[in-house]
């Protein structure tokens, strides 16, 4: 077994390092920024109320729905101006973190 085969290149702040890369590192998902058209749950909770309907025009900062999490009512706000394409969540749904609630177009 050649030690050189286990080594890989890693670039941090424009400096290239030769180091041993773990299997977990090699299989990681590349970073991709969040899509502002998809409103996701940021915490597990229960959908208390949906404040918009499909086809409705919304502006950035408008309240879209109320999510009850850890005994607090969180108002999810619209990140961009647009139109409601679909409302995936229903009143009373229990959702996990990262679940699609509303899609904008």
pLDDT on residue 6: 72
Q: Rounded to 5 degrees, what are φ and ψ at 92?
A: 95, -10
Q: pLDDT tens string for the chain (105 positions)?
A: 455 567 889 899 999 999 998 889 889 998 889 899 999 999 999 999 999 999 999 999 999 999 999 999 999 999 999 999 999 999 999 999 999 999 999
Domain 38-104 top-level CATH class: mainly beta
Q: Count CB atoms within 10 A of the CB of residue 12.
A: 7
pLDDT on residue 61: 95
CB 63 within 8 A of CB 76: yes
pLDDT on residue 4: 55
Per residue in 81-90, pLDDT (tens digit) is 999 999 999 9
């Amino acid at each position: 077994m050649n030690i050189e085969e286990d080594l890989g290149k890693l670039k941090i702040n424009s400096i290239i390092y030769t180091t041993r890369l773990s299997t977990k590192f090699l299989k990681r998902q590349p970073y991709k920024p969040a899509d502002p058209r998809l409103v996701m749950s940021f915490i597990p909770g229960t959908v208390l109320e949906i404040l918009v309907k499909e086809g409705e025009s919304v502006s950035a900062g408008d309240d879209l729905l109320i999510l009850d999490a850890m005994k607090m009512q969180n108002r999810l706000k619209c990140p961009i101006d647009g139109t409601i394409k679909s409302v995936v969540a229903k009143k009373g749904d229990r959702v996990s973190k990262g679940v699609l609630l509303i899609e904008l177009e």
